[in-house]
């Protein structure tokens, strides 16, 4: 469950406002290389009764942070502080939450309002989730967008059941890894597709079978592996490059989840769609506010607490102070496969 919002205790003696030190995007950049992240300090505004102040321990950098900085998301506002995923400690707000280590994510934070790449952040109390036992604050900061995307896609498609087959297109991306973990946790069989010969680099209760799209007839292999049935859920994390593969591998009554596109348009076989009684689900986590995202993370928390779900590994090479934010953004938009974090106190 998300931590409940509670009424504030009786009025306390006046204290000085918290000064927030963080990154600022003052204008849209023309390119990724031109993203201008500046450091600014300002006092936090007064809290509303349903809000908390989180002292940020770590904030992840996602590709969407960079895309929003360049205007690829028309609803992004300027100026603002970026950052969707975070972890930290509640330092102001309802008495019952003070001192709790929490984490969270959002489609609003860092896009339509100030986000987490700062020393402190104001967010709704119902948006934060207590960090599961055994998970570090840094690991918790890296859960956010990939696991929220994976869970929301599977949830809306109808959560996989024991005995079902989930085909993950783009297995080794962060969302693909999260889908594989959640599907295995739910008792489903997982088959993953990659573009070239490579092993699965993530965690899962049962490691997925990996198919190489450049060397195998993936739809035929999937049908062989499922006694002719096909995949009950096809989770396409890549978009059009794997569109045909996914659709040809679907079972009758199968569900397909889409979260990305390189080229917007594909050839859509209407006959195969309705004869196959297929369902298509589109997921855009930017549309989810902080409280909605908190509910999704709360649903995942028991899996992390039980050890059935594993956070992404956090490597020292992928940790950056706020003053080196440009290098962190460059890593994310480059070839790094790491979960990149900004550390406000570093």
Q: Looking at residue 198, which CATH number applies to its domain? A: 3.40.50.720
Burial of residue 116, with CB atoms counted within 10 A of its CB: 0-12 exposed, 13-18 middle, 19 or more buried: buried
- Total domains in the fold of the chain: 2
Domain check: are 137 and 198 in the same one?
no
State whether 155 and 255 are in the same domain. Answer: yes
Helix (H), strand (E) at residue 65: helix 63-69
Instruction: Report if residue 10 sits inside a domain.
Output: no
Shared domain for 226 and 123, answered yes or no, is no
Domain carrying residue 169: 146-285
Instruction: Pull the structure tokens for residue 330.
Output: 């460059």
Mean pLDDT of 205-221: 97
pLDDT at 14: 44
Q: What are the b/e assignments for 14-50, b being 16+ CB within 10 Å?
A: eeeebebebbbbeeeeeebeebebeeeeeebeebeeb
104 contacts 70 by C-beta, under 8 angstroms: no
Averaged confidence pLDDT in the chain? 95
The reply to whether 153 and 136 lie within a common domain is no
Per-residue pLDDT at 71: 85
Specify whether the CB–CB gap between 229 and 223 falls below 8 A.
yes
CA distance 25 to 15: 29
| Partners of residue 234 on adjacent β-strands | 167, 256
Q: Which helix (H) or strand (E) holds 147?
A: helix 144-157
> Do 253 and 316 reside in the same domain of the chain?
no
Residue 23 forms part of a structural domain: yes
Cα gap 79→63, rounded to integer Å: 19
Q: What pLDDT was estimated at residue 2?
A: 56
Strand-pairing partners, residue 279, are: 255
Query: Residues 39, 92: one domain?
Result: yes
pLDDT of residue 4: 54
Residue finishing a domain among 267, 285, 303: 285
Nearest-10 crossing angle of helices 174-185, 144-157: 50
Of residues 114, 119, 110, 100, the one with CA closest to residue 58: 119
DSSP for residue 46 = P
pLDDT tens digits, 72-97: 888 899 999 999 999 999 999 999 99
Residue 298 lies in a domain: no
- For residues 130 and 236, membership in a common domain is answered with no
Residue length, the chain?
Answer: 346
* 304 domain-assigned: no
Task: Check pLDDT > 70 for residue 245.
Answer: yes
pLDDT tops 50 at residue 218: yes
User: Residue 60 maps to which CATH number?
Assistant: 3.90.180.10
pLDDT digits (tens, 9 = 90+) for 129-184: 999 999 999 999 999 999 999 999 999 999 999 999 999 999 999 999 999 999 99
Specify if 112 maps to a domain. Answer: yes
* 214 SS3 class: coil
On whether residue 4 sits in a domain, the answer given is no
> pTM (2 decimals)?
0.94
The radius of gyration of the chain's CA atoms, rounded to the nearest angstrom, is 21
Asked if residue 202 lies in contact with residue 180, where contact means CB atoms within 8 angstroms, the answer is: yes
Mean pLDDT of 5-14: 45
pLDDT of residue 311: 99
- In this structure, the answer to whether residues 151 and 137 fall within a common structural domain is no
So what's the pLDDT on residue 7?
46
Please tell me whether residues 23 and 150 are part of one structural domain.
no
Sequence-ordered strand ranges (E) for the chain = 19-24, 38-43, 51-60, 86-92, 101-104, 120-124, 129-130, 165-169, 189-194, 209-212, 231-236, 250-258, 279-282, 319-321, 341-343
- Answer whether residue 226 is part of any domain: yes
Same domain, residue pair 43 and 114: yes
Return phi, psi of residue 343, to 5°: -115, 105
Let me know whether 166 and 279 are in one domain.
yes
Which residue among 270, 285, 300 closes a domain?
Answer: 285
Would you state the pLDDT for residue 12? 46
- What is the rounded CA–CA span in Å between residue 190 and residue 24? 41
Q: Are 241 and 217 in contact (CB under 8 A)?
A: no
Q: In terms of domains, do 164 and 249 share one?
A: yes
How many whole angstroms separate alpha carbon 23 and alpha carbon 344? 10
Tell me whether residue 5 is in a domain: no
């Amino acid at each position: 469950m998300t931590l409940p919002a509670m009424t504030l205790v009786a009025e306390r003696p006046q204290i000085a406002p918290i000064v927030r030190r963080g990154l600022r995007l003052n204008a849209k950049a023309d390119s990724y290389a031109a993203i201008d992240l500046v450091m600014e300090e300002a006092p936090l505004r007064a809290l509303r009764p349903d809000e908390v102040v989180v002292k940020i321990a770590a904030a992840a950098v996602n590709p969407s942070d960079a895309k929003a900085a360049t205007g690829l998301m028309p609803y992004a506002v300027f100026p603002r502080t970026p950052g969707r995923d975070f972890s930290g400690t509640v330092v102001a707000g309802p008495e019952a939450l003070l001192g709790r280590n929490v984490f969270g994510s959002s489609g609003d934070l860092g896009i339509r309002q100030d986000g987490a790449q700062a020393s402190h952040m104001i967010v709704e109390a119902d948006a934060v989730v207590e960090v599961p036992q055994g998970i570090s604050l840094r690991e918790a900061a890296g859960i956010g967008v990939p696991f929220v995307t994976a869970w929301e896609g599977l949830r809306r498609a109808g959560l996989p059941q024991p005995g079902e087959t989930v085909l993950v297109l783009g297995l080794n991306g962060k969302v693909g890894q999260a889908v594989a973990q959640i599907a295995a946790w739910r008792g489903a069989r997982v088959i993953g597709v990659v573009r070239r010969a490579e092993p699965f680099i993530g965690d899962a209760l049962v490691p997925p079978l990996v198919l190489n799209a450049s060397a195998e007839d993936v739809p035929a292999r999937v049908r062989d592996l499922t006694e002719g049935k096909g995949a009950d859920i096809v989770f396409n994390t890549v978009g059009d490059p794997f569109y045909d593969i996914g659709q040809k591998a679907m079972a009758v009554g199968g569900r397909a989840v889409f979260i990305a596109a390189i080229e917007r348009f594909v050839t859509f076989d209407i006959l195969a769609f309705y004869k196959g009684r297929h369902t298509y689900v589109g997921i855009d986590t930017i549309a989810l506010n902080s409280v909605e995202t908190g509910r999704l993370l709360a649903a995942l928390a028991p899996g992390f607490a039980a050890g059935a779900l594993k956070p992404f590994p956090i490597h020292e090479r992928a940790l950056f102070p706020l003053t080196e934010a440009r290098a962190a953004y460059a890593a994310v938009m480059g070839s790094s496969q790491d979960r990149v974090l900004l550390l406000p106190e570093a």
